[in-house]
């Protein structure tokens, strides 16, 4: 009888443990996932216009900025110009020439500012500043 009571107690404990695990699985709530909407595609024409405006602003405020501020703004504009150039490649062929022409003009202005930032004692980064050219 004593053995039967021990076996019955063991079976009861096992049944309770199994039932508790089963309830835990049922009670688990599904994990909520976050979905973020995709950003709208970039408008290269608007990006070129913004880049032109920022390059013009830097050109107009050039004398009011420290060399460190100039360099920081130039670096940001160069990175932005690269992104805009990459976005321009996704334009339909009929829109691309006009946007690329505006981007090219902006790049020339940016090149002029980079050349302006380059002091006389700094190494030459562009072929245009090499002697004899």
Write out pLDDT tens, residues 105-116. Answer: 999 999 888 888
**Where on the phi/psi map is residue 25: left (φ > 0), alpha (ψ -120 to 50), or beta?**
alpha
What's the pLDDT score for residue 44? 83
98 falls within a domain: yes
94 falls within a domain: yes
DSSP string, the chain: -HHHHHHHHHHHHHHHHHHHHHHHHHHPPPPP----PPPPPP-HHHHHHHHHHHHHHHHHTGGGS-HHHHHHHHHHHHHHHHHHHHHHTTS-TTTHHHHHHHHHHHHHHHHHHHHHHS-TTSPP-SGGGSTT-
Total domain count, the chain:
1
34 falls within a domain: no
Q: Print the domain residue range for 83.
A: 44-121
What's the pLDDT score for residue 90? 84
What's the pLDDT score for residue 38? 58
Confidence (pTM): 0.60
133 falls within a domain: no
Write out pLDDT tens, residues 18-38. Answer: 555 555 555 555 555 555 555
Kindly report the number of other CB atoms within 10 A of residue 71's CB atom. 13
- Regions in the chain scoring below 70 on pLDDT: 1-42, 119-133
What's the pLDDT score for residue 133? 47
DSSP string, 48-71: HHHHHHHHHHHHHTGGGS-HHHHH
**Where on the phi/psi map is residue 123: left (φ > 0), alpha (ψ -120 to 50), or beta?**
beta
What's the pLDDT score for residue 16? 46
6 falls within a domain: no
58 falls within a domain: yes
């Amino acid at each position: 009888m004593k053995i039967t009571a021990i076996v019955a107690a063991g079976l009861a404990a096992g049944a309770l443990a199994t039932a508790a695990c089963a309830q835990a699985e049922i009670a688990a709530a599904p994990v909520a996932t976050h979905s973020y909407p995709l950003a709208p595609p970039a408008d290269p024409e608007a990006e070129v216009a913004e880049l032109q405006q920022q390059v013009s602003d830097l050109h107009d405020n050039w004398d009011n900025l420290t060399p460190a501020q100039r360099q920081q703004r130039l670096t940001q504009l160069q990175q932005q110009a690269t992104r805009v150039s990459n976005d321009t490649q996704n334009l339909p062929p009929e829109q691309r020439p006009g946007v690329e022409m505006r981007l090219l003009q902006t790049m020339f202005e940016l090149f002029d500012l980079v050349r302006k930032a380059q002091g006389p004692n700094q190494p030459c980064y562009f072929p245009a500043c090499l002697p004899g050219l």
